[in-house]
Structure formats: C-alpha cells, structure tokens
C-alpha cells in the first residue's frame, strides 16, 4: 500500500440505465431495466428506482418482471450510446492524470501520484468532488461514484459504499479500520459459496476473517484460496495502475476431419480446449475476463460468441462452462468443421483465482448469459474477437426485422424518438430526446416507410 490516497476508482452509477434515463425524459425517476427483454434474457443493469424492488444485475428478466411494478420500462441495450458516454468520461479522466486504467465500459482507476497534486485527504477529496461534478456535466447528468485510497482494492470498495453519486476517501493509516467492519462479501471475488462457508464458521466481517489463522483458512479452502483470503483481509494489494495493457489472448482450436454434429462430442471438445487454454494461462501467470468461442461451419462461415465477466479467471471449469453456454447460441445442426475457445482481456492479478470454489456457483445455469449476443456487455477497448458480431445494432439506413424496445428511431415528419414497444404488426414510438420535454406517443405499422432506425441522440447543449 502507498502512504497516501492517490489511487481513485471511478465507477459510473447504473450506467446503462442512467444513459437511458438521460436520453428519455419520460423515464427519469422511474424504474428502468436494461437487458435481454425476450425469452431467457437477463438483467444487464437496473436503475436505482428498480433496485428498490430487488431487481439486480444478472437476474433472469422473468424474475425482474415479477418483482418490479407495472410502470417499469424494460429496454434492450444501446451499446453505441453507452460507448459514447464512456469515451467522454475516459477522456475527462485522461485530463486529470496520464495514468488511467480502464477496466470496463463504466469504471477505471486513476493514479494521482504523477500529477504533483495535493495528496492529503482534503486535497484528494476536493479533486474527487470536482471530478464528479465534471463527469455529470460532461455526460448530461450521468453520475459517478469515486473511492480514493492507498490501493486498488480499497479504492474499488470505497467507490461502492455510498452509491449513487458517492465519494469515499480512505485516509492513510486507516485502511484496516475502514476494511475490517465490512461484511466479507465486500471483498472482490468472495462469492456465495465462500461467504456461506465463512458464515458457518462465525466469520461475517473482514475483521473476523483477519482473526482466522492462515493454517485454518488453508484447511478450509485450500492453499491458494485460503492464502488469498488471508491477504485480502489484511488489505495486502500492491497492484499498480497500468494505463495501457498489451492486447493479448490465449486460445486453442481444433479442426475436425469430418464435420461434427454430435452435441455431446462438441461439449467434450470444448472441455478439452478450455483445459488447454487454462493450462496456458496458469503457465504464464495470467487470467482473463472475456471467454470466447469460434465456430466454423462446413461451408467455412465462421461465428464467434463472447462473454465478459467482472473478474478475471484461469479456472478451466469456469471457462468450459461459459464456452458451453455460448455454444447454445450457435446452430450446430449442420455440422462443425472447427471449434475454438479463447480467453482475452488478460491480467496478471486475478482475485477469482483465490476463490475457485465460488466460480461455478457464481454462474447459475440459465441465468448467466443472455440469449441475445447483443446483451453481452463489451469491455473497452473491445477486442474484435470479443464483439457480438452476428447481431449488430441496426444501421441508420437499414430497417430492422424487429423493432427493439428503447431503440432510437427517426420519423420523416415527427422527428427523433424511441421505441416503447411493438407487436401485432404495430410499433409504438415516443418522440422525445435528452434535450426535450416529455414527448408524445404515436403508433405506426411496423413497415411504415417514414420510420427509420437512427443513431443515439446527442445530449450536448452546444
């Protein structure tokens, strides 16, 4: 740990839902759920108004609909809009410090040490407060929460404590006093299985965990898992903020002599490929957040699917489980010529490595992946192989086969709006935008030639 709170963790608050509320005045202050709206889709992000009712990320959308009130808006993701907002924020963070490590589309670490600023608690508090104001102004009202501390671990925990629009600065020397009263679930990577095992032993806070000997923890969880818990409970984290990480991936693939149609064999091949990838990761001291598969059909057409997790892993069982679920999104009935598994968005520090017993329990069957590839939230910068390539957002000059709730549209006469819903050959549109008042609603035939897909609206006032 450092001797000053010079590491910031900036986390945009319910970003996808916040962007939707910014761009759709009629949804401000109301429950909004973004995710896979059909079939077995899952929640990507829920607004804070929806979280009051128990809706949360990774929850099956069907369960969210049972919990949330009838006034809730259920929207398909608009990744172009989210990416634009993210880029604005990352440019702003780059103006604060040359050392910015973006770890996902809505969060980043900022190292204040190189900029020669006042790194006292009052100095960092003032800088972070001003930064929060600048973020809200630059994004048209999307807020961010910030944690500032002497390590990445504590900064990230701090940014989560007072959401939304929160600020937590951990003073040097107060790290353990800050960390130990928190529930063990606040430690990144401590999933339900580890939490339950600790609770059965009377360990509920990080302080309780710190009182357990290394020998006991290793006996309970194994060498790597137990040693990891021991370090985290003592806030032992010396990771640096890395502004640019070399783009790397670890992959393995197999080309079959005869096209394979047997789903049992395909699953077995995925398991073998995942084991090879995991072995290479561990041999190089790496772990990755994005699991992807490559499927080449007999006619040489190639399909990719990807899923990005919150934390990196090198666990072959989890890579295989995710690869299997990704394969369910691909039609394999015509035969598969080539099958590949890869892991990207690599890191040399993985909290998940410390909690291997939790990995599979954290990915419940039927609730971990969206049915629509467009629901896979990309990490920025996004590797080409990780892009949901087969279901792009409709281009502005192409009519979509299906109008998606939340989609941006443009009417030749009524102007810009967004899709409230569609069905039975009709589509309902509300005509409003980030710089307008609550707008009127109109219904059209789904093939009305005056209605077109559009790019996301601008929220800038000039």
Which residue among the candidates 101, 107, 372, 393 is catalytic per the annotation? 107
pLDDT tens-digit profile, the chain (462 residues): 788 899 999 999 999 999 999 999 999 999 999 988 876 788 989 999 999 999 998 888 999 999 999 999 999 999 899 999 999 999 999 999 989 998 888 999 999 998 888 999 999 999 999 999 999 999 999 999 999 999 999 999 999 999 999 999 999 999 999 999 999 999 876 878 888 889 999 999 999 999 999 999 888 888 877 888 898 899 988 888 887 655 467 888 888 878 888 999 999 999 999 998 988 887 777 788 889 999 988 777 788 888 888 778 888 899 999 999 999 888 888 889 889 999 988 775 444 433 444 444 434 333 333 322 222 222 333 332 333 333 334 444 444 457 999 999 999 999 999 999 998 899 999 999 999 999 999 999 999 999 999 999 998 765
Contact 50, 33 (CB under 8 A): yes
Q: How many CA atoms lie within 13 A of 417 on its CB side?
A: 26
CA 6 to CA 153: how far, in whole Å? Answer: 13
Residue 245's pLDDT is what? 53
Contact 85, 79 (CB under 8 A): no
Residue 364's pLDDT is what? 37
Q: Which of 192, 217, 220, 108 is nearest to 155 (CA)?
A: 108
Helix (H, G, I), strand (E, B) or coil at 364: coil
Q: Which of 312, 309, 11, 311 is nearest to 158 (CA)?
A: 11
CA 433 to CA 178: how far, in whole Å? Answer: 43
CA 305 to CA 286: how far, in whole Å? Answer: 22
Residue 161's pLDDT is what? 92
Helix (H, G, I), strand (E, B) or coil at 33: strand
Q: Note the CATH architecture for domain 1-171.
A: 2-Layer Sandwich (3.30)
Q: Which residues contact 54 (CB under 8 A, 6 or more apart)?
A: 67
- Locate 292 and state its tokens: 């992807």
Give all strands of the β-sheet with 415-423 in edge-to-edge order: 441-445, 426-430, 415-423, 408-411, 451-453
Angle at 264 between CA 262 and CA 269, to 5 degrees: 95
Q: Which of 438, 425, 420 is nearest to 75 (CA)?
A: 420
Q: Which residues contact 432 (CB under 8 A, 6 or more apart)?
A: 24, 25, 26, 417, 418, 438, 439
Active site residue 107: yes
Contact 313, 319 (CB under 8 A): yes
Residue 372's pLDDT is what? 28
- Pairing between β-strand 249-260 and β-strand 167-169 as defined by DSSP bridges: unpaired
Contact 106, 146 (CB under 8 A): no
Domain ranges of the chain: 1-171, 180-233, 249-386, 394-462
Residue 386's pLDDT is what? 31
CA 111 to CA 211: how far, in whole Å? Answer: 32
Q: Which of 16, 6, 12, 62 is nearest to 38 (CA)?
A: 62
CA 152 to CA 158: how far, in whole Å? Answer: 10
CA 250 to CA 282: how far, in whole Å? Answer: 11
* Superfamily of 180-233 according to CATH: 5' to 3' exonuclease, C-terminal subdomain (1.10.150.20)
Residue 345's pLDDT is what? 81
Residue 248's pLDDT is what? 64
Angle at 344 between CA 34 and CA 378, to 5 degrees: 20
CA 261 to CA 156: how far, in whole Å? Answer: 45
User: 1.10.10, 2.60.40, 2.30.30, 3.30.70: which CATH number matches 394-462?
Assistant: 2.30.30
Please report, for residues 95, 134, 310, 373, the alpha-carbon distance to residue 359 in angstroms, rounded to integers and kept in the order given: 37, 37, 12, 22
CA 440 to CA 361: how far, in whole Å? Answer: 46
CA 156 to CA 270: how far, in whole Å? Answer: 34
Residue 362's pLDDT is what? 39
**pTM exceeds cut of 0.85:** no
Residue 427's pLDDT is what? 94
- Locate 265 and state its tokens: 């064999």
Q: Note the CATH architecture for domain 249-386.
A: 2-Layer Sandwich (3.30)
Residue 189's pLDDT is what? 64
Q: Which of 321, 265, 315 is nearest to 293 (CA)?
A: 321
Sign of dihedral through CA atoms 119, 124, 128, 131?
negative
């Amino acid at each position: 740990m450092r001797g000053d709170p010079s590491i910031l963790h900036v986390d945009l608050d319910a970003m996808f839902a916040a962007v939707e509320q910014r761009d759709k005045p009629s949804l401000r202050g109301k429950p909004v759920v973004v995710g896979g709206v059909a079939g077995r889709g899952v929640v990507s992000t829920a607004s804070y108004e929806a979280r009051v009712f128990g809706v949360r990320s990774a929850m099956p959308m069907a369960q969210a609909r049972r919990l949330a009130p009838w006034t809730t808006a259920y929207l398909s993701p608009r990744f172009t809009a989210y990416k634009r907002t993210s880029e604005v924020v990352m440019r702003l963070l780059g103006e604060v410090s040359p050392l910015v490590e973006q770890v996902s589309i809505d969060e980043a670490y900022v190292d204040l040490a190189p900029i020669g600023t006042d790194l006292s608690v009052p100095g960092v508090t003032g800088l972070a407060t001003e930064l929060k104001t600048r973020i809200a102004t630059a994004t048209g009202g999307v807020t961010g929460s910030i944690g500032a501390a002497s390590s990445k671990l504590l900064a990230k925990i701090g940014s989560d404590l007072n959401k939304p629009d929160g600020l937590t600065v951990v003073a040097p020397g107060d790290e353990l006093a800050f960390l130990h009263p928190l529930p063990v679930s606040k430690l990144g990577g401590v999933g339900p299985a580890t939490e339950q095992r600790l609770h059965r032993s009377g360990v509920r806070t990080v302080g309780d965990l710190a009182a357990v000997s290394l020998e006991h923890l290793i006996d309970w969880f194994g060498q790597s898992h137990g040693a990891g818990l021991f370090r985290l409970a003592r806030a032992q984290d010396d990771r640096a903020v890395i502004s640019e990480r070399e783009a790397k991936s670890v992959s393995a693939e197999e080309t079959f002599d005869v096209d394979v149609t047997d789903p049992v064999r395909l699953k077995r091949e995925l398991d073998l490929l995942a084991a090879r990838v995991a072995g290479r990761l561990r041999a190089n001291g790496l772990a990755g957040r994005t699991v992807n598969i490559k499927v080449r059909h007999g006619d040489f057409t190639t399909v990719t699917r990807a899923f990005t997790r919150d934390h990196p892993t090198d666990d072959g069982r989890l890579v295989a489980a995710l690869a299997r679920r990704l394969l369910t999104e691909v039609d394999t009935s015509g035969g598969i010529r080539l099958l590949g598994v890869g892991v990207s968005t690599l890191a040399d520090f993985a909290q998940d490595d410390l909690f291997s017993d939790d990995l599979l329990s954290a990915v419940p069957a039927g609730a971990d992946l969206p049915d629509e590839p467009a629901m896979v939230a990309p990490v920025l910068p996004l590797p080409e192989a990780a892009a949901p390539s087969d279901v792009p957002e409709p281009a502005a000059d192409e009519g979509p086969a299906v109008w998606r709730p939340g989609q941006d549209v443009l009417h030749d006469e009524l102007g810009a709006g967004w899709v409230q819903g569609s069905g039975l050959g009709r589509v309902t549109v509300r005509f409003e935008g980030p710089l307008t008042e609550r707008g009127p609603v109109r219904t059209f035939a789904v093939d009305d030639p005056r209605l077109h897909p559009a790019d996301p609206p601008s929220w800038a006032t000039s």
